Amino acid sequence: MRSFFFLISLCFLSVAGAQAPQAPQGLLTDLLADTETVFEGGFPAEKTLETLDPDKNQWAEIRTLTPSFSWIVRDSRKNILQRAWQIQVSAQKSMEPLIYDSGKIESGVSSSVFLPNGENVFEENSVYYWRVRTWNQEGKNEGTEVSPWSEPKGFRTGKNIKEGEVSRYPIRLVREFPVQSKSLGKKVTFFDFGKAAFGQIVLKIKVKENGTIRVRVGERVKDGAVDRKPAGSTRFWEYLVPVKAGSHEYLIETRKDKRNTSGAAFLMPEYVGEVMPFRYAEVEECETPVRIESVERRSAYYHFDDAAAEFYSSNETLNAVWEFCRYSIKATSFLGIYVDGDRERIPYEGDALLNQLSHYGTDREYSMARYSWEYLIFHPTWPTEWNLQCCQMAWYDYLYSGDARGIERFYEELKTKSLIDLAEPNGLISTRLGKVTPEMLQKLHIHSGPQFRDIVDWPHKGLAGNENAESGETDGFVFQNFNSVVNAYHFFALNSMLRFARILGKTEDEAFFQERIEKVRKAYQEVFFDSERGIYRDGESMEHASLHANIFPLAFGLVPPEHQKSVTNFIKNRGMRCSVYGAQFLLEAVFNGNDGAYGLERMIAEDLRSWVNMMRVGSTISLEAWDDRYKPNQDWNHAWGAAPANIIPRKLVGVEPLEPGCSKIRIKPQPADLDSFTATVPTIRGKVGVDWNQSFLKISIPANVTAELHIPAASPDGLRPNSPLKMDGKAVEADWDNGFWILKNVGSGEWRFEK
């Protein structure tokens, strides 16, 4: 029999007033939360896991022989750590009889793998229930207390399960209705749904005799009506719909666009049908008067918890940017895989990486990211950096979920994606020195398409009709044999591979990657750093220094502390000379350089290169480019344009995992001149709360989590204040670094700091 593994992720949810362990909550089966809802045609159905029809219904199918089980530990006291756990599995909700019992497993780590008697437990197309209890120990106490059992969590395996498959949710449909309607003359009624979404239009029409109506749907509005000739790749369709006498409902079958429904494009599932992005609709009478009884948009989404993340600050513009970007992640989930937008609907690594981080910042959901990066291993695109991003995505997956199955299964593929085959004697990689061979491309699974080459940013020179037509969105980057941006990505990939080798016990590879990291770090400074200016050049033997040559090394940890200020100042002086994709790394860089003020400035800016401009032109989902002038064929639904959805929780609020599965996190708020903010950041172990104002900082840390706290001091000169830091009203000893008090190992619970 094949081995069966359980992977356990251990998490937390605070419950106010609790003085003892409570039953675990937030149970995830193979990283899926909603495993008990049954759907029909994308809508919730009055069926149970036991009574569903597997040929007619949809559900969150568990598709692997070795699913993971995760939970949130509930104990609101301070300094709580889990010491042991026990899970039981049954084919009945009553949990009798048991088909598996782990017994008490002494473990407090974020994930564990074990073998239940070396046998398969699950069968295809079958229903199971599981429950868990934990033994928790307060940090200073020696005894442990056992929690009650969790409520049983049901799930159903797929029709065809096999090792290594990623369990996924079905695409679901949500009925949404106009927030505004108005008459455009005697025969036309205009409807506004408030936000764009990928969906289908459904009308209920009453007429006295047979006739026709015209229905228009689109993303843009012009002169108060649906824009019939929208610019770029934004959408408009018009339909002539026959109507029958009486009152009837009409589902308008969305017309297919050949470009995004053929070739490498991802397709909508048959039970949903084709969708298009639209916000506005019009109904026009033709031969006979009609009465519009209802108008509905059936919008397609992957599972998304709207209450998982929260952010509200004293700056209303920042609040609007957050909500705009948060919704963009939800709205673009319509295919269940990260794609580039509506124009092509193709998965690209560059889009997927940004989407992944923003998804983690807005929801406790990990399956879509897992499915996306594993798909991209075998369906790569052509840019050098984007192949390197597979290692980056795999690392973030493990860091946030604590689930190592992906890196175990695809270790050798990831090793190839690190592009060590392109390394020159100095350790740096190059696509221009003869090592990009057919054999090498075959290993990368690149079989056709554009030439494999460096990208830096997009569009390139001459591809956009704007003031940057001569330089494109690369800030005039000069491509050389050794590319500073490509090698910054390579450095990140090597660090990812070092961690993977260490996790998997591959000692020879661990030594290899450690040696290679130091070699690249040394060569990077020698080849790209300009010591006179204190900044990085685009390539070797040249003077040109672009914005991109500096944001990527600062974002990826290649800039020594003594040069961070000069590099950060250079980035600020260059401005936003990058695309919405590059903006992700610009913001990461300046926050890493402890210049949260500039990061905030860029997120609330109102110029053309801003999220405010995206909203100003009328979109409710992030754009592919800052404005039509920067990419004339752009679409209005690119998740890679939603960087603040992860930058706000990760960098401004400052919550980031330091160890896999969020067993240890860093909380480093950089509020700049905000008067206040309050935030909830989702993690697999539960929600982290951060409440900031100019006089205090309040933090809520989940149980079984420790945190490294960087507490900003309100000191205008950056010097350490004379007064001590107070923690829950008592002075505490804390380290000091660059404007922050630092406490290395703070346990779970609520803590209040006064400055």
| pTM, to two decimals | 0.95
CA–CA dist 35, 63 (Å, integer): 12
Instruction: For residues 55 and 659, give the distance between their C-alpha atoms in angstroms, rounded to a whole number.
Output: 42
Q: What is the pLDDT of residue 18?
A: 46
**Which residue in 545, 529, 617, 537 sits closest to 577, CA to CA?**
545
Q: Which residues of 82-103 are buried (b: 16+ CB within 10 A; e: fewer)?
A: bbbbbbbbbbebebeeeebebe
Of 287, 301, 492, nearest in space to 387 by CA: 492
Residue 33 near residue 92, CB atoms below 8 Å: no
User: Residue 455 corresponds to which amino acid?
Assistant: I
User: Residue 660 carries which side chain, given as an amino acid letter?
Assistant: P
Contacts of 46 (CB under 8 A, 6+ apart): none
- Does residue 549 sit in helix, strand or coil? helix
- Which stretches of the chain score pLDDT less than 50? 1-18, 110-117, 465
Counting Cα atoms < 13 Å in the Cβ hemisphere of 90 gives: 13
Chain mean position to CA 336: 13
Distance CA 401, CA 111 (A): 9
Euclidean distance between CA atoms 420 and 260, whole angstroms: 34
Asked whether the beta carbons of 217 and 251 are under 8 A apart, the reply is no
- Pairwise CA distance, residues 52 & 408, whole Å: 34
- The whole-number pLDDT of residue 358 equals 98
Compute the residue count for the chain. 755
- Dump the DSSP string for 670-722: --TT-SEEEEEEEETTEEEEEEEESSEEEEEE-TT-EEEEEEE---TT-PPPS
Residue environment code for 536-552, b if the CB has 16+ CB neighbours within 10 A, otherwise e: bbbbbeeeebbbbbbbb
Nearest-10 Cα torsion for 411, 415, 416, 420: -170
608, two tokens: 């053309």
Contacts of 309 (CB under 8 A, 6+ apart): 326, 361, 362, 363, 649, 679, 680, 681, 682
Report how far residue 177's alpha carbon sits from residue 192's, in angstroms, rounded to the nearest whole number: 9
| pLDDT at residue 450 in the model | 84
Beta-bridge mates of residue 731: 726
Half-sphere exposure of 32 (CA within 13 A, CB side): 27
In the chain, the N- to C-terminal Cα span, in Å, equals 61
Give, as one character, the DSSP assignment of residue 429. B
DSSP 303-317: ---TTS-EEEES-HH
How many whole angstroms separate alpha carbon 437 and alpha carbon 145? Answer: 60
Residue 241 phi/psi, 5-degree rounding, is: -115, 120
> Do the Cβ atoms of 4 and 119 come closer than 8 Å?
yes
Tokens of 289: 């008067």
Which structure tokens are listed for 43? 């809508």
pLDDT for residue 713: 86
If phi over 0 gives left and psi between -120 and 50 gives alpha, with beta otherwise, what is residue 197? beta
Cβ atoms of 613 and 326 closer than 8 Å: no
What domains can you pick out in the chain, each with its CATH number?
A: 6-157 (2.60.40.10), 172-301 (2.60.120.260), 310-652 (1.50.10.10), 660-754 (2.60.420.10)
**Tokens linked to 734:** 């804390």
For tokens 């941006």, name the residue. 485
User: How far apart are the C-alpha atoms of 535 and 518, rounded to whole Å?
Assistant: 20
CA atoms of 188 and 201, how far apart (whole Å): 16
Peptide bond into 97 cis (omega under 30): yes
**Complete edge-to-edge strand list for the sheet that includes strand 6-12:** 22-29, 68-74, 6-12, 113-114
Burial class (CB in 10 A: 0-12, 13-18, 19+), 201: buried
Considering Cα of 362, then 366, then 368, then 373, what sign does the dihedral take? positive
C-beta separation of 206 from 198 below 8 A: no
In the block, which residue shows the tokens 């999220």? 611
In terms of Cβ atoms closer than 10 Å to its own Cβ (0-12, 13-18, 19+), residue 531 is exposed
Q: Tell me the C-alpha distance between 243 and 208, whole Å.
A: 10
Cα 565 from chain centroid (whole Å): 29
The C-alpha torsion from 376 through 393 and 604 to 458, rounded to 10°, is -40
Instruction: Report the distance separating Cα 664 and Cα 12, nearest Å.
Output: 12
Q: Give the integer Cα–Cα distance in Å for 108 and 192.
A: 51
- Cα separation, 130 vs 87, in Å, equals 7
